[in-house]
Homo-oligomer: A and B are copies of this chain.
Amino acid sequence: MKITLAIDAMGGDKSPGVIIEGIAIAQRRYPELFCLLYGDENEINPLLKQHPLDLSSIKVVHTDEYIPSEMKPSAAVRGPKGASMRLAIEAVANGEAQAVVSAGNTGAYMALSKLILRPLKGIDRPAIAAPLPTLKGQSLMLDLGANVECTTDNLLQFAMMGEVFAREVMGKKSPSIGLLNVGVEDLKGNSTTKTTYNLLKTSGWVENFYGFVEGNDILHGTVDVIVTDGFTGNISLKTAEGTFKLFKDFFVSQFTKNLWRKICYLFAKSSMRAFKNQFDPRVNNGAPFLGLNGISVKSHGNMDGLGISYAIGVAVDMVRRDVNKLIRDGLEKRQQLHITDDTSCVAIASEPA
């Protein structure tokens, strides 16, 4: 079965070069891949010759407009109409492509995806999810910033969508779901987390609810899916990224301090490499926007070709596993569950807005 992806060739720090490099790598891994590549053909065409590409599986759709990285989401929504990112998303809405991938401006990409693809029926707020490297492998965290204020309903939907993604795309058998909180006892947290905890525990919204998890559980890999609001999720993800960077900067400065330290580095190299491999952000690249009526995957802006190929891989897997259909099914099943379960309905109704 052919899988057609719409790819924004102009998004990210090193586009379109790394985008095309990423496609070249992805083509080897996914022979069924066909790419609609949106961007400036004057830049793209010469690059296509530089990589070992199957050109019969690529169609360049020319546009000289694009969304700049600093453009506000509201401005991106108003225009430009011919921007590569917008055209790529529209290709999914029109049925020309089965998923869209961009490494461009996150806020604009989410806003345009929501505008053009619309949320899935029954999903109030789509979320940004991302696979994170952990000591035990990989976990998924959501929301990472699409929704700075969340209700219990939003969090329940995030939990269910995360469960589907972790099972279908990340290959976790019965993914454990954790709700991020300031403590693990059930009386801790703000009113929204407490209500959500009670519902996740009793209502069958997810199969395998672990309970509350704390900040230190995220990278420890305590659970497969970490559910939180976009405010906390964004800040804690960036805190972890900042801590990683601090380590990197510190060791670079230490191991380049003088000749002796440089020699020492040769001995530490294998351990440092092992670390780099285990926590390689490229392998974890590809953040799905979950809850949209169409598959939309975000790549980090500063990835190389290998990283881009992983984001393409997430989109391919989401198409293959028909993730959106499974989310819709899950939602339907849970809505019936709500109708028959009075307790949870009451609890949801009493949740503060």
Contact = CB atoms under 8 A, between A and B. Distances in A.
Interface of A: 72, 134-135, 145, 148-149, 180-183, 185, 187-191, 214-220, 228, 230-232, 234-247, 249-251, 254-255, 261, 263-268, 270-271, 274-275, 278
A18 to B, nearest CB: 23
Contacts of A236: 215, 232, 235-236, 239
Contact of A234 (B182, B185, B240): B182
28 contacts: A72-B185, A145-B182, A148-B188, A149-B191, A181-B235, A182-B230, A182-B231, A214-B238, A215-B234, A215-B237, A215-B239, A216-B239, A219-B239, A220-B242, A220-B246, A239-B243, A240-B240, A240-B243, A247-B275, A250-B278, A254-B270, A254-B274, A254-B275, A261-B271, A263-B267, A266-B267, A267-B268, A268-B268
A263 B270 CA distance: 12
A220 B240 CA distance: 12
Given A245-B216, A261-B271, A267-B267, A235 B180 contact: yes
Contacts of A261: 270-271
A179 to B, nearest CB: 11
A137 to B, nearest CB: 13
A255 B271 CA distance: 7
Given A216-B242, A235-B236, A254-B275, 12 more contacts: A189-B231, A215-B234, A215-B241, A215-B242, A217-B242, A220-B246, A228-B235, A232-B236, A247-B275, A251-B271, A254-B274, A265-B268
